[in-house]
Structure formats: C-alpha cells, structure tokens
Structure 1
Amino acid sequence: METMVGRNARIVSVKGREVLDSRGRPTVEAEVAFEGATNTQSVVRAMVPSGKSTGGAEAKELRDADPGRYAGMGCLEAAKSIGVLGKAVVGMDPTDQKAIDAALLELDTSPQKDKSGIGANAVLAVSMACCRAGALVKGVPLCRHINDLAAKAIGEPVRMVMPVPCLNVINGGVHAGNLLAFQEFFLIPAGAESFGEALRIGAETYQVLKKVIQEEYGLRDTAVGDEGGFAPNIASPEEGMRLLMKAIERAGHTTKIFLGSDPAASEFFKDGTYDLGFKSAQVGGEKKSAAEMVELYEKICSDFPMVLLEDPFDEEDFASHAALTSKVGDRIEIVGDDLYCTNCSRVEKGLESKATNAMLLKVNQIGSVTESLDAWSLCRRNGWGVFVSHRSGETEDSFIADLSVGIGAGHIKSGAPCRSERLAKYNQLLRIEEELGIPYAGMKFRTPWDF
C-alpha cells in the first residue's frame, strides 16, 4: 500500500563498486541514493552472491576475464555496468519495482536474453537496492514491502510466515574435498514451535555433530567449507545420514528435526549415467542408471526421516525427476534448482511433465526481483512449494531473509549456523520474528499458505 511519500519519491543516483564475497572472490555492490517527499536524500546498498555449482540456464554474470587480476574473475566491468543501468532508473519511484526492473531489462540486448552483455550480477544489484529503497520510502520493513510486491504479482494477499531453516551441515560434491557425491545434507527443524527455537536446536545439533565427527574421523574432519558445513572423510550418502541421526539423537531433538539433501546430481551425471564415485581415482567409479538412482532415493527416504530432496537428477533429466516425484512426492518435497534456474519457461516445462513439486528460488539465477516474483507466483498458483536459497559465494547482505518472509516461502537455506555471511540471514530472521510476530511455517513448510 503506497503512501504520499512513496508517490513523491525518486531515485537520484546509482553507482557500483567491486567488493569481495565469502570466498574472497570479487562481486558487485550497487549504491542507490534516493529522495522522499521532504527532499531528504538517503542511501541504500545491495550486494550480489555468486554460485559455484551452477545451472546451465542461469542468467550470466559479467566478469572482467583479465588473467592478471583475480584470475580473470574481477568485476570492474560489472561495477561500470551498474552505472550505465542506473541512468535508466534515475528519476523513477523506488516503490515501483516492476517499472524499475522493466527499465533495467530493456537494456538486455543479449540474443538469449540471459543478461550476458550487461551482467546479471549488475542488474540484480540495482534491482535489490531499489527494492530496499522502496521499503524505506514507504516506511515499512523490507519483508512487508516485498509482501506488497508479491500480492501484486499473484493478484491476491499473501500470508507472511517465518521460514524453516534448512541447515546445510555436511558437505560433499564440488563443495568439498571428500569422496561424497551428494553436495549437501540438511538438518530441517520443522517440528519446532518458532523460528527462534528452530535455529537454536539446529545450532545445538550442529555443535554435537562436530563432536560426533571428531570422535569417528578425527579433528581434521571438523574444518568447515564454503557454507559452514563439515566435510568428513565419507563416501556414501547413507553414512552422511547416519552421522546426522546420531547427532540429532545425542542432542535430544529426534521429534523436531528432519533430514533433507541436495545431491546436485548434474555434477556427477556423466555420459548418461550417475557416477557416485566421480571424485574417486578408481576407474569406473560407482555408476548408476536413472532407474537405479530412483531406487536409491526411495531407500534413503524409507530408511531416514527425509522430507526434502533437491536436484536428485541432471538439470535436463525432467523424466527421471518426474519418475521419482510420482513415487515419493506425496511425502517428500522434490525441489528443482539447476532444473529450473528460477526461470518461468523452465518451470512451465516442469509443470507440464510433473517433474517436481517445488522450485528453488535464487535471485541471482534470474537476475531481478520482479522475475524472481514471477517464478514464485507461477509455482504458488500451481500448488508448488518454493524454497529460497543463498549461494556458496555469499555476502553479508541479508536480502533473501526478508524475501523468504515476504513471499511466505515456508523454508530457506543459508548454510550451516556458522560463518557470518550465513548467519546474517538467520539473524535477520530472528529480528523479523521478534519485531513482527509472524507465525512459523513448521511442518507446513511445503504449503505455507495452508494455515
């Protein structure tokens, strides 16, 4: 609901700068100056994350490709692009997110409309910063402003909920140096009564898990990875699940914490088969057909208290996703990440084939707030869950915390309860819960609208 202040506000200037993400690699920050009705000028900023395990259909970042600087990963060109993009939105009302993003997207002249020329990282930085400015102009928390935008996107009021934190506490895949093919293993405290309790029992279990891993594998295996999870010297997903269950039981939270996993199967899909030994020096590895992978997932879901599987097959393997969803989708959320890349056209394909029952939402996969809301609303209209996510290369920007609440996503992943760039999101959610008294999604994380 716009105020007189909002209708008289305008963006005054936009500039970009190169900053570093949590891996010490460059990313970009947009700085937006704006005026309200009193002509008082304020400044907001937004930083963009970057993924390592990326989908082929993701919008494209702009990198400098100068081998003599940050090994070619510099973002000076993207920072410069922010300045160019800014000229398109100067004078616009920061509360009008849809118009702002439309103006930004008009500058995307790439043949595939993947933002490769102007940089998805540059577009998103401006889009997020303007969204933050819009909330300040309206005098409301960012999550409430996003909630207004979400209601406009779907054409009806959207109930805000506190999301279930899905804590990535064991790492494998391309995120770790062990032999584990599956990329992420989650603690999912859906049985808690509040977000605050969920984060507490998740953090308690994480600390117990550290002790369990140290007892069984030694101190060296308790070092943490990019997302704060441990990477013990294990090779099978079942061993990862066993460690989680041991920690949950020792912490005393067996009735409140469930399990989930992101195999990120595109990373070990080779020559038509799924090679669970792809990181091993052993010739041949442990290769499985798609049908055999379905059987493996069914067994894991039967043997452990699983509630979520993300990207269990290759990013183009819609048929295998559909086969698994038809078998376990009534009780397990099957989430498409690389499969969809927060892209409406790919979600439409997933809906037609009944490939999954949920989509992972990563704002930098698509590159603007409005396009992210479009993908969310498409899923919501079709009864799919939406799982908001960070990236492995993160920043201290907590935008996705407010996003997850504003769209009533029901669940969020931002890594383990460790490392400040991860905790920035979880701590912001603690503030939101305290200040606004929003209910916790809990066991309804898949259908948060169904309270």
Structure 2
Amino acid sequence: MYPPRSAERVSADEPDFGRLRSAAADFCRLNGLPAVIERALNELFLRQPEDVHGYLAENFLKLSAPPRISRLRSREVFDARGQLSIEAELLCTVCNKEKSMSSAAVASYLVPKETSVDQASESQERADHVTTAALWINGALSSLLTDLNPCDQSETDQRLSNYFRTCFQEEKDTRDREKQESLTSSSQELELPSPPPTQTKDKIRSGKKSRETEKPFRPAEPPKPVLRGSMAIGSVSLAVAKAGAHVQGLPLYRYVADLRNQKAPKQFHIPVPLVTLLSCGKTSPGKLCLLEEIILVPRMGQKVKQTIRRTLELQKEMMRIMNASTKAGATHTFVSASGAPAASYDRPEQPLDLIAEACTNLGVALGTDVYLALNCAAQKLVNYSKGKYEVATGGLRSPDELVDFYHTLISKYPAVVALIDPFRKEDTEQWQKLSNVMGNSCSLLCDISHKLQPPHLPGVRGFIIKQVNETTVSDLIHITTEYQDSVLMGTVCSEPCADASFSDMAVGLGLQYVKLGGLSGAERMTKYNRLISIEEELAQQGILVYKEKHSPPLFPETPQELPATAE
C-alpha cells in the first residue's frame, strides 16, 4: 500500500488522490474489474497528474470495446470535371456513440462510347451508375460491413470483392441470356445471305519495286465491362482504410505501409513525382494527336518543392517563347484536362524543340537535370476503318511504320526515357519490335488502371495503376507487392477535388514513381501539397531517405521482361 499524502499538500482545489483511489477501487470491485483498475489507480497515485479526469478518461477509454462499423452513408458529389460521382461516409460506434469516422471517393471510369453517342446519353449513364452506387452503399454494403472492425482491412475488402463478383456474375448471366434470346429470335425471322467469295490481293508492282498486302490489323479486344455501381466498392474500401488509420492514430501512409509490410518500416522514401509539362493530344488545337502528355521526370534526390518550382519555371519560359512567336502576342494555348498547357502543334518535334529551347534559356541540362516521358495514349488514335494510327490529323501510320517513327524520334531526343502506351495492347509484335530497337535507352510502360491485371506484353518494363471503380486498397497492396518496382501510380482526370489520400497511398505502398498530372487545378495541387507535407514530416523524424539514382521502370539497368499474367 502507498502512504497517504500529507495534510499540508492537500488543498480545496487539489484532488484527494487517496480518496479517489479508494472510491474507484470500490467501483472496480463491484463491476468485476479489480486488477485492471487497480493498476491504473496505482499509476495515477504515483504520477499525480494535473488533469486527473483527463488521465482517467484516457485510461478507461482503453478498456472500452474497439470501434465497430455501424453503417455507411452515401453522398453525391462532383469530380474535377464537374461530373456526378459518389462519396462513401463511414460511421462507427465508439464508446457507445455513433461517430462519423471518414469519407472517401475514388475516380470513376466508364467505357468510352462511340462518337455518335450524345452528351445527354453519357450524362444519364453516369447518373445511373451513381444512383446504383448510392443504393449499394446505403443498403447491401452497409449491412455487409456492420459490426466489422474498421482496422480489419483484409476482411473488409474480401467482403466487398465477393459482393462485386456476385453482382458482376449476375449481370453477365443476364446479358448472356438476353443475347441468346435475341440470336434465337433473329435466326427464326431472318435468313442470312451467303457470304461473298473471299478475295485476295495480288502483289502490287510499280516499276522495279513490289510490296505485299499489308498485314491485317488485329481487331480491338472487347473492353472490360464496367458494372453499374462499381465505384461504390473502391470508395468504401478507401473510407475504411482512412477510418482504420484514424482509430490507430496513424497518418494514412503509415497505416498502409503497415498493411503492406505487416510491420512498421523503419525508413520511407517519397515517390518521384512525374509532372505533366505539356499536352498535345487530340483535344489540343493543333493537328498533332500523338502526344497526349509530355511529362517531366526530375533527377533523383530533388525535393518535391524543387520539382514543382522547376516545372513552373519551364512552363513560364515555354509560354513566353510561344507568345513571342505569335502575332501581336496572341497565344494558342489553354489548360488541358490533365492540368498542363495544351499547345497548338502539327508535328511531334515541335513541342520537344520548345522544351529544349526553354531548358537552354534557363540553364537546365535536358537529359541530366530533367528527363522526359511521353504518354502516347495510342489506343485513342486508332482509325479502325483504315487499320492505322492517326498520329496527326490526316497523317496515318501502320503499326510497323509507328515503330520506325518512335525509333527516329527517340534517337533525335535522347532525353526521352519512357514511352507510355505507344501501341494498343493488341499489337504485341510491335511492342516487341520497338523494345528491340530501343534497348535500354527508353522504357516502355503500359497503363493497366482499368483492368489492374498486367497483360503479357513483350518489352514492357512497368505498369501504371490507378484506384478506380471496384479497386480496393487490398488490390493495390497485392499488385504493388507482386510487381514491386515495376509499378507506378497515376491519377485520372475525374479525381475528387478534396481528397489527398492518393499521395498517402503512393508513399505507403512504397512506389518509386507517382504520376500526379499538371500543376493546375485543386484536385491535383491538393495531392502535390500533401506529398510535400509527408516529405517534411518524414524529414523531421529523421526517417526519410532519398534514392541516389533512377530505378526501374524508367531507368532499367538491364532489360527485364515481366512475368506473364493470365488475361
């Protein structure tokens, strides 16, 4: 037993620790908690804190039941493009009271429609997706996760994925049944005409030269159908992860790192931010269609702030050059959907020459201080009626011609260290050819954000992933663990504006690179600012490390083909 306090030390304003201890001990014995309370009171008697009630509240809080998910609630929001989207709010029971713990919204991706589909139809389709997602969140998913520990991310994501697969299979069975009924009905009503005789083209001779008929252009694989309401799955998964981090008193990036590594890592590094410098895609005012994004790749060891400042300086100088080259100071630039200036050009050499000139004027060594990556987005350039890629308005190239085109371009601009989606995924032969002629001078990257299942493409050294639709936190952890340094993370134009958790995810997953888009728009700058905040926090704690040199997927030391994955 501890001796009572002396009478001189006790005043009317001070708590009588002996009396408190005795009363609380009686309370714990009556309620069957003598051992736990006895230890807490002995420690209280020794420490004699100034805020006795706060001290007791903190200790007794540890004895309460862990938080449990009580329900989910949906909220309709608008994304960065002003399109309708869905946000999931997670409510938990904490100390017998229901409390809103977190909310999250992931980017939504719908299969692109034909150009004949009007905007009103697309808006209605998106509204239907959002309505279904809201029904899922408020109904089935809420019931599915009730009473679950928000820190149990694995179990949460397993339940969410199982629910999605069940709904997807039901939808598939319905489509197959309707298709079969339609075919049966058509075969009974119509007599199909006999197919025309097959015609073959002879060799075309012109003088001394002859060429054979071009190779057939492989048809596009059918796009993966997007299940109506699927955006609810990713939003709920992220909301649960944020709630779990809150319960454990950790920033989200540390919580995700713990989930991925099964233990807290001793050191962290900040993924190198790849910043969109210029846009020249099909939506730009010029004829050039090929380069959807020209991306700045900073040298290793730079802080995020330094990368942003350098990008802004380059963009300012590029704008000055473009304005000086137009009459009366007029400009043909605007900010693209990716948050970067979109320039009016007709040939791919023009924007690259502009960047080179801006670097020279600022004393920036292109190919040493900064590098470039080109997002070709070739899948958007295909003219299926002619079986070619539309590199520029009216300028068509076959897949083999495009191989030579890229080779010539990279040879002229060695600062380009990566090509993103230079071909469709169906043109496997051309991926291999381009990889052979490039060697180690340039890496080929493939965007798999809408499938999250790496295809077996020869020569590909890295994949770009994004959290969209039904992608759960566990899905991201799985693919980044399986492919390690071969994965980088990217944003999409329909990101929610106010959510910076994307940056936490990139840091927590231990990624080497992160693609955040341009430096315009709240939805992007929120993520850049969060990355800066994490970098400063880690530096203050002395656990931030910087990479000395670029590593795969952008700067491979030796060619390495990724393992095959079933489609």
Instruction: Give TM-score, length-normalised by structure 1.
Output: 0.84
User: 1:185 & 1:6 partners in 2: Cα distance?
Assistant: 54
How well do the aligned residues superpose, as a CA RMSD in angstroms?
Answer: 3.3
Give the secondary-structure state (helix, strand or coil) at the position aligned to 2:86: strand
Range with greater deviation from structure 2 (404-413 or 194-203): 194-203
User: 1:165 & 1:34 partners in 2: Cα distance?
Assistant: 35
Shift of 1:166: 1.3
Q: Which residue of 2 aligns with 1:80?
A: 135
Given that residues 503 and 531 in structure 2 are in contact (C-alpha distance below 8 angstroms), is that contact kept between their aligned partners in structure 1?
yes
Residue type of the alignment partner of 2:325: E
Aligned positions of 1:191-206 closer than 5 A: 191-206=300-315
Q: Which residue of 1 aligns with 2:545?
A: 439
Q: Which residue of 2 aligns with 1:417?
A: 519
User: 2:266 & 2:401 partners in 1: Cα distance?
Assistant: 40
Q: Deviations over 1:354-388 (max 9, x none)?
A: 340000011116522212222222222xxx52121
Q: Which residue of 1 aligns with 2:382?
A: 269
Aligned positions of 1:38-437 closer than 5 A: 41-50=99-108, 67=120, 70-74=123-127, 75-84=130-139, 85-108=141-164, 109-111=167-169, 116-117=226-227, 119-152=229-262, 160-181=268-289, 182-217=291-326, 219-254=330-365, 255-271=368-384, 272-277=387-392, 280=393, 285-304=394-413, 305-328=415-438, 330-338=440-448, 341-344=450-453, 347=454, 349-350=455-456, 353-364=457-468, 367-380=471-484, 384-396=485-497, 397-437=499-539
Shift of 1:68: 8.6
Cα separation, partners in 2 of 1:23 and 1:13, compared to 1, 3 Å: same
Cα separation, partners in 2 of 1:28 and 1:365, compared to 1, 3 Å: closer
Cα separation, partners in 2 of 1:132 and 1:178, compared to 1, 3 Å: farther
Q: Which residue of 2 aligns with 1:13?
A: 71
Q: Which residue of 2 aligns with 1:62?
A: none
User: 2:245 & 2:502 partners in 1: Cα distance?
Assistant: 14
Shift of 1:150: 2.1
Question: Radius of gyration: which is bigger?
Answer: 2
Give the secondary-structure state (helix, strand or coil) at the position aligned to 1:297: helix
User: 1:377 & 1:367 partners in 2: Cα distance?
Assistant: 15
Given that residues 258 and 264 in structure 2 are in contact (C-alpha distance below 8 angstroms), is that contact kept between their aligned partners in structure 1?
no
Given that residues 461 and 553 in structure 2 are in contact (C-alpha distance below 8 angstroms), is that contact kept between their aligned partners in structure 1?
no
Given that residues 309 and 332 in structure 1 are in contact (C-alpha distance below 8 angstroms), is that contact kept between their aligned partners in structure 2?
yes
User: 1:92 & 1:66 partners in 2: Cα distance?
Assistant: 41
User: 2:464 & 2:481 partners in 1: Cα distance?
Assistant: 13
Range with greater deviation from structure 2 (119-128 or 248-257): 248-257
User: 1:359 & 1:10 partners in 2: Cα distance?
Assistant: 36
User: 1:122 & 1:369 partners in 2: Cα distance?
Assistant: 13
Q: Deviations over 1:376-423 (max 9, x none)?
A: 22222xxx5212111012222112211111112111122111211111
Cα separation, partners in 2 of 1:292 and 1:428, compared to 1, 3 Å: same
Shift of 1:146: 1.2
Residue type of the alignment partner of 2:550: K
User: 1:318 & 1:36 partners in 2: Cα distance?
Assistant: 54
Question: Does 2:83 align with 1:25?
Answer: yes
Given that residues 322 and 331 in structure 2 are in contact (C-alpha distance below 8 angstroms), is that contact kept between their aligned partners in structure 1?
no
Given that residues 172 and 183 in structure 1 are in contact (C-alpha distance below 8 angstroms), is that contact kept between their aligned partners in structure 2?
yes
Shift of 1:436: 1.2
Given that residues 410 and 441 in structure 1 are in contact (C-alpha distance below 8 angstroms), is that contact kept between their aligned partners in structure 2?
no
User: 1:6 & 1:359 partners in 2: Cα distance?
Assistant: 45
Q: Percent identity?
A: 25
Q: Which has the higher contact order (CA 8 A, sep 6+)?
A: 1
User: 2:508 & 2:87 partners in 1: Cα distance?
Assistant: 23
Shift of 1:331: 3.4
User: 1:180 & 1:6 partners in 2: Cα distance?
Assistant: 63
Q: Deviations over 1:118-161 (max 9, x none)?
A: 52211111111111111111211111111122225xx9969632
Range with greater deviation from structure 2 (90-99 or 167-176): 167-176
Could you tell me which runs of 5 or more consecutive residues in structure 1 were left unpaired when the two chains were aligned.
57-64
Q: Deviations over 1:182-241 (max 9, x none)?
A: 211111112452222222212222222222222234544232121221121102222121
User: 2:98 & 2:545 partners in 1: Cα distance?
Assistant: 35
Cα separation, partners in 2 of 1:443 and 1:253, compared to 1, 3 Å: farther
Shift of 1:107: 1.4
Given that residues 49 and 364 in structure 1 are in contact (C-alpha distance below 8 angstroms), is that contact kept between their aligned partners in structure 2?
yes
User: 1:297 & 1:24 partners in 2: Cα distance?
Assistant: 36
Residue type of the alignment partner of 1:178: G
Given that residues 16 and 79 in structure 1 are in contact (C-alpha distance below 8 angstroms), is that contact kept between their aligned partners in structure 2?
yes
Cα separation, partners in 2 of 1:377 and 1:13, compared to 1, 3 Å: same
Instruction: Give TM-score, length-normalised by structure 2.
Output: 0.68
Alignment size in residue pairs = 422
Give the secondary-structure state (helix, strand or coil) at the position aligned to 1:33: strand
Range with greater deviation from structure 2 (107-116 or 362-371): 107-116
